Amino acid sequence: MAQHETTMHRRAMMMAGAAMVVGACSRSSSPLKPTPLAAPSLPPGKLASVPATVRSDSAPKTFSTVNPGLLRKALASLDRHGDRIKQRDRIAIVDFSASSSDMRMHFLDVVDGKASRQLVAHGSGSDPHHTGFVDRFSNAFNSNASSEGAFLTQDYYVGKHGRSQRLVGLDATNSNALDRAVVVHSAWYANEEMIPAHGKLGRSQGCFAVGENKLDDVFSFLGKGRMIFAART
């Protein structure tokens, strides 16, 4: 009975509270064994050569879903932070110019040219009126806002939102990401059914919140030591 009541309560929150900000991005010391990658990583020598050979004007056609200007920025960032981003075969790009109703989190395999995308929520501090669009970024503590720039995926842990992954901000615009606990986690307000019901996703407190049934896909694709690049065009 308790489990049933909990489920009903959550569904009620989904339908009545899409405008709510649900759950703080929080840290935890409870370790989590990383999800295995879907495919083995390439030899380091090959990985290191990838950014130099992939440009937005010569990128595979499957990357055409990403705004060309944003793709150029992401690849330039990958090259600029090459000494810290050891795994360079796969990257994620979040286009915060798009609405939260759009599949704006792009996953690019720069080795074999494959691409996919999915929904991702932004922070309430970036969208105070809950329009579905990012109005501003912030690197400040307690801003509840999304930050722009390059993020390095780090270790996994179990926190307030269950399985999560820490991120390190590599730019001045997101340098507080780790201490702000801006992480990747799943949330009910980032599930696909929010779109037909409300026309947009709910908002996080600055984290990259994805659908509850999409977290394994994100973890499997990125693993540790890869880049998430977030910006607007």
Instruction: List the pLDDT tens digit at each of the 233 positions of the chain.
Output: 444 444 444 444 444 444 444 445 655 444 454 444 433 333 333 333 344 345 556 677 778 899 999 999 999 999 999 999 999 999 999 999 999 999 999 999 988 889 999 999 999 999 999 999 999 999 999 999 999 999 999 999 999 999 999 999 999 999 999 999 999 999 999 999 999 999 999 999 999 999 999 999 999 999 999 999 999 99
Given this structure, which CATH class describes domain 2-231? mainly beta
Orientation of helix 68-80 relative to helix 44-53, angle to 10°: 140
pLDDT of 15:
41
**What are the backbone dihedrals phi and psi of residue 5, each rounded to the nearest 5 degrees, phi first?**
-65, -40
Rounded CA-CA distance 218/228 in Å is 11
Q: pTM for the whole thing?
A: 0.81
- Residue 116 has a pLDDT of 96
User: What per-residue confidence (pLDDT) applies to 55?
Assistant: 58
What pLDDT was estimated at residue 128? Answer: 98
Q: How far is the C-alpha of 32 from the C-alpha of 162, rounded, in Å?
A: 10
> Which residue from 5, 3, 167 is spatially nearest to 85, judged by alpha carbons?
167
Residue count of the chain = 233
Q: Which two tokens stand for residue 130?
A: 């809950």
Residue closest to 92 by CA, chosen among 6, 208, 202, 5: 208
Distance between CA 151 and CA 29 in Å, rounded? Answer: 21
Strand, coil or helix: 31: strand
| pLDDT (0 to 100) of residue 61 | 73
Which runs of E-coded beta strand occur in the chain? 30-31, 90-95, 105-109, 115-118, 149-159, 162-169, 183-186, 208-210, 227-231
Q: Determine the Cα–Cα distance for residues 185 and 30; give it in Å rounded to an integer.
A: 15
